[in-house]
Structure 1
Amino acid sequence: MGKRLLILTAGMGAGHDAVAAELARRMARQDVETNVLDVLDLIPIGLGHGLRRMYGGMVRSAPWLYEGIYRAFFVSRRPPPASPLTALIASRLDARIRELPPDAVVSTFHVAAQAAGRLRDAGRLTVPSIVLVTDFAVHRMWLHAGNDRFLCPDERSARTVMERTGRPATRHAPVVGPAFRRRRGAGGALRDAAGARPGDRIVLVSAGAWGVGRVVETARRVAASGRYLPVVLCGRNERLRERVHGPALGWRDDMPALMAGAYALIDNAAGLTCREAFACGLPVISYRPIPGHGRDGAEAMARAGLSRYARTPGELVEALDGLRDDAARRAGVRRTAALFDAVPAERVIRAALG
């Protein structure tokens, strides 16, 4: 009988779901039966959908409130508290697991990691539980010591996880779609979508799947330099797209082709879009990141030499100008390309499946 893998995610933005979907695709190629479950769907009477809307509303309209919650509950060296929400999700996850027992569980979202770790710690989950950390800055909500193993974005975060959980933690290659590793062409798709001229240096300004952050002002600053053409990626936020004075794109399924034509990516979330840019060899500049994990992730990427973190409009333009130095640009691309030399996540998971 073939092996069965349960992948836990949460629809908070698009990044966790995309990682889960790509991981499922890779495992299916190894003849592993995969099931992907959004843990927010385990919360009854639509409360999971309400949590999703509340989080999106805070990040969009009251970032100061999310910052306060993040600092109070996510950033601490103490173990995370046992919450009623985690207990509820764990209870309903236990029932799901008993209906269709997996041979291993992988969590790609921190609440999922808490629930799976809780079940594993209590002996209710009897198969390996692996946490695939999708944040560059690992906060304590990822760190339930009931889990067997952690896959981290770099060596620094892996050391932190081992120190705080006592569990094995190693870095893994970013889980991005294969199309991002095959950057080809002259970028005509982006040039056509933006209505750009042949000599324009096009800078992608990412607002994530939900279209959040002060990206309208960011695009205005970039355009004011007179040296770059900003194209705002608005995700599914059509209102944001209407507010942008210049090229703006909605949700796209051809991001590898768009990135192939870009000069740089300006990002505000330090999430999957950055990893996709790294795979394409596209330099990343963090600017005005969203609060909480976005800001901490931007700082972590900059410390690792993977990106620049511009804190002022002047630093933003200076960072863009610096990428015109071919030697510096190539050195940055080599650093980010090295991320993909790490062990693939699916190899570790396959070994856990036995």
Structure 2
Amino acid sequence: MHGRIVIISASVGAGHDGAADQLTDRLRLFGYEVDRHDFLDLLPAGLGALLAGSYHHLLTWAPTIYQRIYAATESADRPGPAIRALLRAAERRTLRAVGPGAVAVISTYPGASQVLGALRLRGLLDVLALTYLTDFSVHGLWVAPGIDAHLAVHPVPAAQAHALGAAGVQVCGPVVDPRFVPGDEEDRRLARLRFGLPGPASLALLVAGSWGVGAVRQAAAEIRDSGVAVPVVVCGRNEALAERLCADGIEHVFGWVWDMPELMHACDVLVQNAGGLTSLEAFATGLPTAGYRCIPGHGRTNAAALQDAGLAAWIRHPADLKPVLQALLDGETGKRQRARGLALFADTRGPAESIAIHCLRPTAPTSPTATKTPAPRRRAPRRPTLVAAALAVTALLGIGAPLAEAYADAPSRYPAVTRFLEGHEAYEGHAR
């Protein structure tokens, strides 16, 4: 064994965990011991689960509010004081998770990166800390002072990270399950037989992440009515969405699909609304890709970044759906996209190799003046600050406003948040 590496992800959707899964597998092949942790579990008082649930409800019921929060914090050069106070609540558990003897810790989630960077700056974390940027667009809160290097999948997100002041920006390419490879005509025929899909038709694979959020029913109906392709919809774990699509007359609807590589072999184009891991999997498979009716926040910024990179079309208006799908299915646009997507995976070196190289370098010393902050004295919290703190931390984690709004209306419904904010030393220090 070359040493132990710690990877901290977050079970918010599937993209952050998906990248962490693949990094884990590859680093173990290189001879590293790898420990995995969920950042949501490192937050106290059950706050992580509450935040993840709030994010889900926000994307479903209040997308406009989420868009406003995301845009307001998109170019922030550092988290605000309320965010920093609440993130400090995860520091002790994060240090315990890293433990003694680790050679590096990798974050695939912005909240974890902020905690690791703060620990590095204060001299409390003395091992290499890296961030793997899972998205094609880089929100300002992905960039954490104190992180030794920020690894990007493509020059477009690398340039965004550099513009935001990220340290050690490096393009290292994407990482996906190795089963995602181009298929031939026989693969296509067999996959359609297995999934019960029509043989001669053009098929548009419509995916909305593991949660199945966004205007999926509307997009499916519009693809069907365009006459260009038959929609094949993957609803993830959203069983209610699958039932509604079937009631709408959409013929090919699936829940959670364990063999996405084969389903992609069956289809001719991907239509997605978030621009995350599924897009990378499509590029590796050779599927031309479009973003349509994208979810707020990272869905729209990812769509713009993918379009800038020439890797995916961004369909902003329903009137453009039919001609764009035709161009992707039968025109030069689709051929160019396919070539560019496959080229992302042409380099034999990837993020795991980059991480291994970083681990071989001497770790920069921590600040010699860093000292542990003494525990501050208690002080009763103020109601406006409680609401602001809840709003700030949910915005940072990509988890939005409904928790803060609900808390403001009825704090007794969220006793875990109240106990945490009233009693935690980091919050009390900010309240002073």
Name the counterpart of 1:345: 351
Contact map agreement 2:137 2:160 (CA 8 A) in 1: no
Equivalent-residue separation in structure 1 for 2:325 and 2:225 (angstroms): 13
Matched, 1:221 2:249: no
* Residues 347/319 of structure 1: CA separation in 2 closer, same or farther (3 Å cut): same
Structure 1 runs not aligned, ≥5 long: none
Name the counterpart of 1:76: 75
Name the counterpart of 1:58: 58
Using the TM superposition, give the Cα deviation of residue 182 of structure 1 relative to its aligned residue in structure 2, in angstroms: 5.2
Contact map agreement 1:268 1:286 (CA 8 A) in 2: yes
Structure 2 runs not aligned, ≥5 long: 361-432
Using the TM superposition, give the Cα deviation of residue 78 of structure 1 relative to its aligned residue in structure 2, in angstroms: 2.7
Name the counterpart of 1:155: 155
TM-score (norm 1): 0.95
Contact map agreement 2:135 2:157 (CA 8 A) in 1: no
In structure 2, give the amino acid aligned to 1:142: W
- SS in structure 2 opposite 1:341? coil
Name the counterpart of 1:90: 91
Name the counterpart of 2:3: 3
In structure 2, give the amino acid aligned to 1:80: P
1:265-344 matched pairs, under 5 angstroms: 265-325=270-330, 327-342=332-347, 343-344=349-350
- SS in structure 2 opposite 1:282? coil
Which deviates more, 124-133 or 317-326?
317-326
Equivalent-residue separation in structure 1 for 2:192 and 2:182 (angstroms): 19
Name the counterpart of 2:120: 120
Q: 1:74-123: per-residue Cα shift (whole Å, max 9, x none)? A: x125323342221111232123223x441101100111111111111111
* Residues 193/214 of structure 1: CA separation in 2 closer, same or farther (3 Å cut): farther
Contact map agreement 1:173 1:341 (CA 8 A) in 2: no
Equivalent-residue separation in structure 1 for 2:311 and 2:141 (angstroms): 24
Equivalent-residue separation in structure 1 for 2:44 and 2:76 (angstroms): 31
Equivalent-residue separation in structure 2 for 1:226 and 1:326 (angstroms): 17
Structure 1 or 2, whichever has the larger Rg, is: 2
Name the counterpart of 1:35: 35
In structure 2, give the amino acid aligned to 1:86: L
Matched, 1:102 2:102: yes
Contact map agreement 2:143 2:166 (CA 8 A) in 1: no
TM-score (norm 2): 0.78
Equivalent-residue separation in structure 2 for 1:60 and 1:77 (angstroms): 25
* Residues 225/33 of structure 1: CA separation in 2 closer, same or farther (3 Å cut): same
Equivalent-residue separation in structure 1 for 2:299 and 2:106 (angstroms): 23
* Residues 89/69 of structure 1: CA separation in 2 closer, same or farther (3 Å cut): same
RCO higher in 1 or 2 (8 Å CA, sep ≥ 6)?
2
Using the TM superposition, give the Cα deviation of residue 304 of structure 1 relative to its aligned residue in structure 2, in angstroms: 1.1
Percent identical pairs in the alignment equals 36
Contact map agreement 1:194 1:231 (CA 8 A) in 2: no
Contact map agreement 2:176 2:281 (CA 8 A) in 1: yes
Using the TM superposition, give the Cα deviation of residue 169 of structure 1 relative to its aligned residue in structure 2, in angstroms: 0.6
Name the counterpart of 1:258: 263
Contact map agreement 2:7 2:37 (CA 8 A) in 1: yes
Equivalent-residue separation in structure 1 for 2:283 and 2:193 (angstroms): 23
Q: 1:2-38: per-residue Cα shift (whole Å, max 9, x none)? A: 3100001000001111110111000111110001100
Work out the number of aligned pairs and report it.
352
Q: 1:196-228: per-residue Cα shift (whole Å, max 9, x none)? A: 322111111101100101111111111112231
* Residues 327/311 of structure 1: CA separation in 2 closer, same or farther (3 Å cut): closer
Using the TM superposition, give the Cα deviation of residue 320 of structure 1 relative to its aligned residue in structure 2, in angstroms: 0.8
Equivalent-residue separation in structure 2 for 1:3 and 1:165 (angstroms): 30
